[in-house]
Amino acid sequence: MVLDSPEAAPRTNLDEYAQSDLRRSLFGLATSVVPFVALWALMFVAYPVSYWLVLLLAVPAAGFMVRSYILFHDCVHGSYLSSRRGNQWLGRVLGLLAFTPYARWRYEHLVHHATAGDLDRRGVGDVPMSTVAEYEAMSRIGRLGYRLYRNQIVMYLLGPIYSTFIMQRIPTPAARTRLTRSVWVTNLAAALMVATLVWAFGWQAVLLVELPIVVLAGGVGIWLFYVQHQYTGTYWVHTDDWTFTDAALHGSSYLALPRVLQFFTGNIGFHHVHHLNPKIPNYNLQRVHELEPTFQDVPALTLREGLRATRLKLYDERTGRMLTWKQVRSL
């Protein structure tokens, strides 16, 4: 597959913001990874006392896990630290906390950046989506499978479990040697980490501590991936009409979250800015959005609208909009 690299795409005049700041990067680690590890450890301490307390602690722990994942995401783009090697090693460590192989996820995510909004190059690093015409051409079994996949219980409850414990553990058949090695090295490191925890606390404690974090943080992560590109008036066109800039500005949402949620999601709601220039660290995204004229007329997606977007199931090429099942039936 030949990709249009986002590195070569128009970036307007945003390069001045695409500079990492070591002080702010260290502050980001101190306000994400450190509290996550502390809460994670506290959950194991609380397990013999009360599982309700474990579940209560799982909520902020999952929030800090999501924030840590955004730092991992920045490392993937080489934006969090000024050193390329520093980003790689930090990314690997942060990836291990989320059971995610760094090199494989990096490849798939960069493919996503180079193809977001392109109907002819879907399916790598994004939440799979079909058009109305494609759905109508499916067999009954194909339609049933798609409906199950887009069911909110399946996507946000079972999805994180499948992605964390199964999908990320298996190299894709066509993966390059380096990507396959990334998966198996991560698997080995994760197995050693889990084995140590099992030895220290027992398998029941490890399972019952990890599971709520995986479901909560993973569910939020899937929702973010979904709503950042699959909302009512999003941008999906065929390759001949596709441009990187249009896909960034019109096919990547500006998710205007309350401050506390913006903190835990590491400013990733400014996704239009991120897609236009993925080298901008997460802590600069809001400043770019507020200062640059390019983004002043970008429509905002509220939290309520973002939650309602989960009802959208198919893209209609005729109207250029995502539709619910009810809207599809009325066509």
What mean pLDDT, rounded, does the chain reach?
Answer: 92
* The pLDDT of residue 3 is above 70: no
The tokens of 22 are what?
Answer: 């070591």
In a domain, 166, yes or no: yes
3-state secondary structure of 252: coil
State the number of CA atoms in the 13 A half-sphere of 329 facing the CB: 3
Strands (DSSP E) contained in 95-244 are: 130-131
Q: What pLDDT does 9 receive?
A: 42
The 10s digit of each residue's pLDDT in 58-85 is 999 999 999 999 999 999 999 999 999 9
Does any domain span residue 54?
yes
pLDDT at 12: 52
- Average pLDDT for residues 29-41, to the nearest whole number? 97
Angstrom distance (rounded) from CA 65 to CA 213: 8
- 134-179 residue pLDDT tens: 999 999 999 999 999 999 999 999 999 999 999 999 887 766 788 8
In the chain, % of residues over pLDDT 70: 96
- Name 301's bridge partners: 255
**What CA–CA distance (Å, rounded) separates 180 from 271?**
29
65 inside domain: yes
Of 217, 169, 192, 168, give the one whose Cα is nearest residue 69.
Answer: 217
Q: Does a structural domain hold residue 2?
A: no
Q: Is 13 part of any domain?
A: no
| Pick from 148, 123, 129: nearest CA to 234 | 129
Task: Quote the domain boundaries for residue 188.
Answer: 18-329
What order do you get walking across the sheet with 321-323 strand by strand? 130-131, 314-316, 321-323
10 — pLDDT class (breaks 50, 70, 90): very low
What pLDDT shows up at residue 6? 43
Domain membership flag for residue 3: no
Domain count for the chain = 1
Residue 54: per-residue pLDDT? 97
Per-residue pLDDT tens over the stretch 233-262:
899 999 999 999 999 989 999 999 999 999
Question: What are the angstrom distances between the C-alpha of 218 and each of 9, 36, 324?
Answer: 31, 15, 24
Q: Which residues of 150-172 are buried (b: 16+ CB within 10 A; e: fewer)?
A: beeeebbeebbeebbeeebbebe
β-sheet bridge partners, residue 118: 237
Q: What is the distance between the alpha carbons of residues 116 and 113, in angstroms, rounded to a whole number? A: 6
Query: Considering the domain boundaries, does residue 1 fall inside one?
Result: no
Residue 10 domain flag: no
| DSSP reduced 3-state for 198 | helix
CB 53 within 8 A of CB 39: no
